[in-house]
Amino acid sequence: DVKVTQSSRYLVKRTGEKVFLECVQDMDHENMFWYRQDPGLGLRLIYFSYDVKMKEKGDIPEGYSVSREKKERFSLILESASTNQTSMYLCASSFVSGFDTGELFFGEGSRLTVL
Amino acid sequence: DAKTTQPTSMDCAEGRAANLPCNHSTISGNEYVYWYRQIHSQGPQYIIHGLKNNETNEMASLIITEDRKSSTLILPHATLRDTAVYYCTSSLFHDKIIFGKGTRLHILP
């Protein structure tokens, strides 16, 4: 089975801190994604990556950056955390076949609270 | 902005078929339609996907209109465990995948 592992289930950080959220997948997937989920807003795409060292902005990239130095790992970075970044963060990966992006496999999520 | 639009919520009686619609009138000819569902705060789980033809698996059926402007996810015999938020997405190759707000399905006993 595909496994997508997010490093922390729960984090509490203070405003202004630098925050790293790590995501690792074990199935050699090309695509990796970071979403955030807030009540009433559904899942919103922050960044995605389709290859090592490649990154593309999603719909809400402001205040975030990402890093993909290895194919299996996709990190989300909050350079200076703010209270409005309190949210559930979900990582996902997929295997591309032809035009088909492939089904997304999600991690269990990281619930971040910024005080 | 999402390429797909869905009703905010729907109700279905237990044991009946749940038919969840999705509008995707702007997707390109090579974009696949995917359906996921999310229960509570767990990550979304894949249900089914298709390109042009109707598809069926052990969980659901997917009906895609001939013009590909819309689709319907069918849960043939809904149970209380099918209460969840259902998302319809479209995707292509290495493009971004936008989820939108989905449809909250309530299964009524």
Query: Does residue A88 carry a pLDDT above 70?
Result: yes
pLDDT at residue number A59: 92
Tokens matching residue B51: 């390109």
Tokens matching residue A5: 């592992």
% of chain B residues with pLDDT over 90: 72
The position carrying tokens 């496994």 is: A3
Tokens matching residue A27: 């199935």
pLDDT at residue number B33: 93
Find the mean pLDDT for residues A75-96: 96
- Mean pLDDT of the residues in chain A: 93
Q: A102: pLDDT confidence band, cut at 50, 70 and 90? A: confident
Greater pLDDT, A101 or A46: A46
**Tens digit of pLDDT for each residue in B31-51?**
899 999 999 878 899 999 999
Query: Does residue A96 carry a pLDDT above 90?
Result: no
Does A109 contact chain B (CB < 8 Å)? yes
Alpha-carbon distance A52 to A41, whole Å? Answer: 30
Alpha-carbon distance A47 to B20, whole Å? Answer: 28
pLDDT at residue number B2: 61
Distance to chain A for B22, nearest Cα, Å: 16
pLDDT at residue number B9: 96
Query: Does residue A84 carry a pLDDT above 90?
Result: yes
Alpha-carbon distance B88 to B73, whole Å? Answer: 9
Query: Does residue A104 carry a pLDDT above 90?
Result: yes
Does A58 contact chain B (CB < 8 Å)? yes
DSSP-derived secondary structure letter, B79 = -
Q: B27: pLDDT confidence band, cut at 50, 70 and 90? A: confident
Return the residue in A3, A4, A43, A59 with the most chain B beta carbons within 10 A, the one to mutate for interface testing: A43
Residue B79 phi, psi dihedral angles, 5° rounding: -120, 170
